Amino acid sequence: MAIQRTLSIIKPDAVAKNVIGDIIRRFEENGLSVIATRMTHLSAEQAGRFYAVHKERPFYKDLCKFMSSGPILAMTLEGSNAVNLNRQLMGATNPKEAEEGTIRADHANSIDANAVHGSDSEENAGIEISFFFGDLDLNSRL
């Protein structure tokens, strides 16, 4: 499997629940390495730019409001098959559909407050990583 990088965001609900450590533990125990981290509190405008791909969706406004409601932890993960592996560890977007043992099954309350975000493709990972991080922030662990 190819080595990839992907963007993970621990969302305001999971930061508020103090489960940052539990989420990062799951990444590390499954072969993903953290190569950059940044805690920040997005403005609604910044959240809107990050999620611009969803601009026309009915949930866009609520999503931007939620993502700017408190601090988040953005990080870049590196490892074999990182994009899909991260998605498997997160579980389905809607926590009601998330498989047992996934991050969202264990920590998410609703489809908006769903604990984590992860890039959905390698192409989008590149775009999303550069939203939060510059080249000098990325510290390969290979």
Select the span of 29-37, 95-103, 110-118, 131-139 touching ligand CMP (CB under 6 A): 110-118
Amino acid at 83: V
* DSSP-derived secondary structure letter, 112: S
Select the span of 80-88, 98-106, 109-117, 134-142 touching ligand CMP (CB under 6 A): 109-117
Q: What are 117's two structure tokens?
A: 């975000």
131 binds ligand CMP (CB under 6 A): no
Instruction: Assess contact for 105 and 1: CB atoms under 8 A.
Output: no
The DSSP line for 33-59 is EEEEEEEE---HHHHHHHTGGGTTSTT
Is 107 annotated in the active site?
Answer: no
**CB-wise, 46 or 93, nearer to ligand CMP?**
93
**In terms of DSSP bridges, do strands 116-118 and 3-10 run parallel, antiparallel, or are they unpaired?**
antiparallel
92 binds ligand CMP (CB under 6 A): no
Task: Quote the least distance from Cβ 142 to ligand CMP, whole Å.
Answer: 26
Backbone angles phi, psi at 82, to 5 degrees: -55, -35
Select the span of 14-22, 77-85, 106-114, 133-141 touching ligand CMP (CB under 6 A): 106-114
Annotated catalytic residue within 41, 54, 107, 117: 117
- Residues designated catalytic: 117
